[in-house]
Amino acid sequence: MREGGSTNALLHAGRSRSSFSGKMGYVLAVAGSAVGLGNIWRFPYLAAKYGGGIFLLVYLILMLTFGYALIMSETALGRMTKKSPVGAFGTFGKGIAFRLGGWINAVIPMLIVPYYSVIGGWVVKYLFEYLRGNTGILAADGYFTGFIAEGVSAELWFLLFSIAVIAVLFAGVKQGVERVSKVMMPVLVILAVFVAGYSMTRPGAFEGVKYFLVPNFENFSWMTVVAAMGQMFYSLSIAMGILYTYGSYVKEDVDIEKSTSQVEIFDTAIAMLAGLMIIPAVFAFSGGDPDTLQAGPSLMFITIPKVFASMGFGTDAGILFFLLVLLAALTSAISLAESGVSTFEDQLGWSRHKAALLMGAVMVVFGSASALGFGVLDFITILGMSILDFFDFLTNSLMMPIAALATCLLVTRVVGIDKIAKEVEQSSGFKRKGMYKLFMRYLAPVCIVVILLSSVANVLGWISM
Ligand code: TRP
């Protein structure tokens, strides 16, 4: 079995089990995979839907405690074993529990990337329309709903996006992703600050700023916590094995505690900027109509075009914005699909091309179902959700908590928390060790189980949250 995950190629072409070039290289690579549609598309709609400021507060608390503990664990386990998740779990035992623990981590990205690419296709479509100067058309009421309901066109844009991803995987990714991220991230930040500033100063937008930033406990529900936890996993790329793989490339002297904080700050800053672009705009352009706040996955595609249409130079802003979102989505989709490909290569011993073809097939099958789920397949709902929403729910609310639990159990029951602490302490002061231990031992497993059970009970309609 070849032990190096070929996600490697993303980072440093042509070296076997290499390390990152330096501390900054690692932070950039992780930040590049972390910042994507999760920050710009997913975070704002969840925040809008699940209570605004209270969602933000719960999210921040979870990230600094739970998220921190899990990132540290996954990275340390990766660095310790020098393996991707299936191999890392396998290092500590051969039983069925170890295989399941490794595989659930490895399968999640394979189920995310198909529907992720559907959203990627929507982004390409919007970019295309802005390039044609259709700024007003995109901002019209009902445009987006009409577009996804039409189905076939959404399917074609999805295929275009997927072909780009598969083509890159097929070619073998050189340092492209890292290089693109380096240029793209600063431009994205500047543009986001600019659009957020514009959006926040529209008449009526201030209510939205308040809704997003000031916690209102009346808006709290259990679903706030469930959604915030899923989003935290998603946005930081945790509970899906990716950080094991990245950790396995980290040199012994990289301060993983510090780099974890940097990645968290960066990722959250982008998500909050996206929230400040979109949520105030919802209030300004729809009078805070609660139905718009409930819009879900379509929110970005409905409000951002309205903001741009109201600006003098909206077409240019639209082109730039959707181009950047597209790049962020592409780099993330490539890393997600790459992690699937490397699992196939490592575990099935397949060639890169064969592995990439299988990943492509998975993307086309599940992605097409998700893309058409708003159109010709809209009679199919699973537990009351559209196909795309169902995949999102399945991975984020069900599988990721289980994957996170598997990591907790591996750390506390098998490897031993002190051994992980030692691994971290090789390179870091580990200032938050006390909190880390408390979380991994008690709080994290208990919270995960409670949240998992409540989200299952919720979809089955046993409780309503
Ligand atoms: N974090 C990415 C985002 O916010 C999505 C993502 C989740 C991801 N898991 C990943 C990207 C693994 C790359 C690798 O959009």
Q: What is the pTM (predicted TM-score) of this model?
A: 0.88
Q: How many residues does the chain have?
A: 465
CB-CB contact of 238 with 78 (8 Å): no
Q: Is the CB of 335 under 6 A from ligand 1?
A: yes
pLDDT value, residue 126: 97
Pocket residue to mutate for ligand 1, from 234, 343, 399, most atoms within 8 A of Cβ: 234
Give the Å distance between the CA of 35 and the centre of ligand 1: 7
Per-residue pLDDT of the chain (465 residues; tens, 9 = 90+): 333 444 443 444 333 455 666 667 777 777 777 889 999 999 999 999 999 999 999 999 999 999 999 999 999 999 999 888 898 999 998 899 999 999 999 999 999 999 999 999 999 999 999 999 999 999 998 999 999 998 789 999 999 999 999 888 877 655 556 666 667 777 878 888 988 999 899 898 999 999 999 999 999 988 899 889 889 988 998 888 888 888 887 888 889 899 899 999 989 999 999 999 999 988 988 777 777 787 788 889 998 898 889 888 889 888 988 988 998 898 889 888 888 888 888 888 898 889 999 999 999 999 999 999 888 888 888 888 889 989 998 998 889 999 999 999 999 999 999 999 999 998 888 889 999 999 999 999 988 898 888 878 877 777 665
CB-CB contact of 305 with 318 (8 Å): yes
Token duo for residue 432: 């938050």
pLDDT value, residue 5: 40
Ligand 1 atom closest to Cα of 39? 4
Instruction: Give the number of other CB atoms < 10 A from CB of residue 156.
Output: 14
DSSP string, 153-203: HHHHHHHHHHHHHHHHHHH---THHHHHHHHHHHHHHHHHHHHHHHHHTST
Token duo for residue 130: 């802005």
Q: What is the architecture, at CATH level 2, of domain 7-11+27-459?
A: Orthogonal Bundle (1.10)
Give the Å distance between the CA of 331 and the centre of ligand 1: 9
> Ligand 1, atom 7: nearest CA belongs to which residue?
237
Q: Is the CB of 231 under 6 A from ligand 1?
A: no
Q: Which amino acid is at 318?
A: G
Choose among 352, 330, 333: nearest CA to 343. Answer: 352
Q: Is the CB of 323 under 6 A from ligand 1?
A: no
Q: Which amino acid is at 183?
A: V
pLDDT value, residue 18: 52
CB-CB contact of 228 with 50 (8 Å): yes
Pocket residue to mutate for ligand 1, from 242, 249, 268, most atoms within 8 A of Cβ: 242
Cross-strand bridge partners of residue 332: none
> Ligand 1, atom 14: nearest CA belongs to which residue?
336
Choose among 114, 108, 110: nearest CA to 400. Answer: 108
